Amino acid sequence: MHRRRLRPAIVALAVIAGLLAPGVVTAPPAAAAPSGGKKVIANLFEWNWPSVASECSSTLGPKGYGYVQVSPPQEHVRGNQWWVAYQPVSYRIESRKGTRAQFKSMVDTCHAAGVKVIVDAVINHMSGQDNGGTGWAGSTYQHHVYPGIYQSQDFHYCGRNGNNDIANYNDRYEVQNCELVNLSDLKTESDYVRSRLAAYLNDLLSLGVDGFRLDASKHMPAADIANIRSRLNRSAYIVQEVIYGAGEPITPNEYTGNGDVHEFRYGKDLARVFRSERLAYLRNFGEGWGHLPSAVSSVFVDNHDTQRDDGGVLTYRDRGIYALANAFMLAWPYGSPTVMSSYTFSSRDAGPPSDGSNKTRDTVCYSGWECEHRWPVIANMVGFRNATEGAGVSNWYDNGNNHIAFSRTGRGFITINDEGSAINGRSYYTGLPAGRYCDVIHGTFTNGTCSGPVVTVDANGWFAANVPAHDAIALHLNARLP
């Protein structure tokens, strides 16, 4: 949690935009990267538990998503803004997204669909309400008093800036001992606080949760997180929110011993390249750009924070170019990718579609909910990612500008044309076995058939095709026709 040069609207997106239409569809070890062959995470931001369960069965499992990331499940302050979920009042699994029983049912349903569950866990702080109040499930609280959980001695009071708030991100002490936008900052060096936070995470593990996204990790020393993790009852995937800041003393690299770390530079750099630079520059994207090592990097085109802040990232509003950027992310073997799934908003504080009591409504895709994870370009490229897991990059091609192509050696091939005009009459070397392949950018492969164009790769691994402006072609072994 943290509190565009845009190019002209792209008009030559007929194919891609058409695909966006609805209906197509001891200390346990840190899990340093999502385990198994299905590593793509879908972040169903602010979805309620019955809707997440349904989506695991209908879409996430069938499309090959390995994980679903869900929003904070603990009791929170009242209100309709999105950020109320990031202001805990107690650790009861009772929120506007559903009850404990609904949460448990969701986890079980997702597991049955082959999808693991990551919880967005808020462990740096409690609420930011000066006058206290009553939480969603009826718990009373004050800014630094949470009956039966924490008392005033369990919080930091840094004594700076007139209100204990962080003002100077170049001061390590201040960032980790003052309050993030008035949120009561937990004393995570305290043995009691550590044990209470571990008890919350272990309760979630008892409900079947597979991992945690640790919110505001930058505001806790890495050693504090390591200690809390050491108290978990079993191994869990860990990804930490540590926002890189140029010249700041706290860096994402400090946290890699605990698990994965969000690489916030990835989305900003990718957006800049797609908007105003050259795709040819992506040839060494990732570690070659000074980003975190791939094995501990969690990447995304946008997330719930960056799409609200003026961070220069691509979002659902960018439509076709956003789909292409996600296609690149899912094709490129750097980091563990998360696909964002948003609701429509015009105000940065706006909460999800809700009823009169601020209880989150069931998700209806394309009606108040953007559901980017269902956009066929993105959803079909999850299968590409799964089919090419572990394969390196070969056969790189670029025209020095905005037309690129590369293979995931022996398993997949993609070409992206982000030029302003079509690339016609060109042949592409894929390195794939001869055969007929579904172009998963434009079609869905199901039961040996393709709903879109079929590309024939010859005995030497080549195919010929025309690629329209701002469009792509992607092939992989798991979408090869009989």
Amino acid at 366: Y
CA atoms within 13 A on the CB side of 383: 25
**For residue 347, what are the contacts with CB-CB under 8 A and spacing of at least 6?**
none
HEC assignment per residue over 350-392: CCCCECCCCCECCCCECCCECCHHHCHHHHHHHHHHHHCCCCC
Sign of the Cα torsion 292, 297, 300, 302 reads: negative
Please check whether residue 66 is in contact with residue 38, taking contact to mean a CB–CB distance below 8 angstroms. yes
Alpha helices in 157-276 (DSSP H): 172-177, 191-206, 222-230, 264-276
Which SS3 state, helix, strand or coil, does residue 108 take?
Answer: helix
Bridging pattern class, strands 133-134 and 236-240? unpaired
**Which residues, in sequence order, are bridge partners of residue 299?**
337
Q: What share of the chain is helix, strand, coil (3-state, %, to 5)?
A: 30, 25, 50
Please check whether residue 467 is in contact with residue 423, taking contact to mean a CB–CB distance below 8 angstroms. yes
- How far is it, in rounded angstroms, from Cα 63 to Cα 376? 10
User: Token pair of 80, please?
Assistant: 């309709």
Triad 14, 308, 124: Cα angle to 5°: 140
Which SS3 state, helix, strand or coil, does residue 37 take?
Answer: coil
**For residue 448, what are the contacts with CB-CB under 8 A and spacing of at least 6?**
481, 482
Maximum CA extent, the chain: 72
Q: Annotated catalytic sites, by residue?
A: 215, 241
Triad 392, 475, 329: Cα angle to 5°: 55
The DSSP H or E segment spanning 112 is helix 100-112
Query: Tokens 């969690």 label which residue?
Result: 298
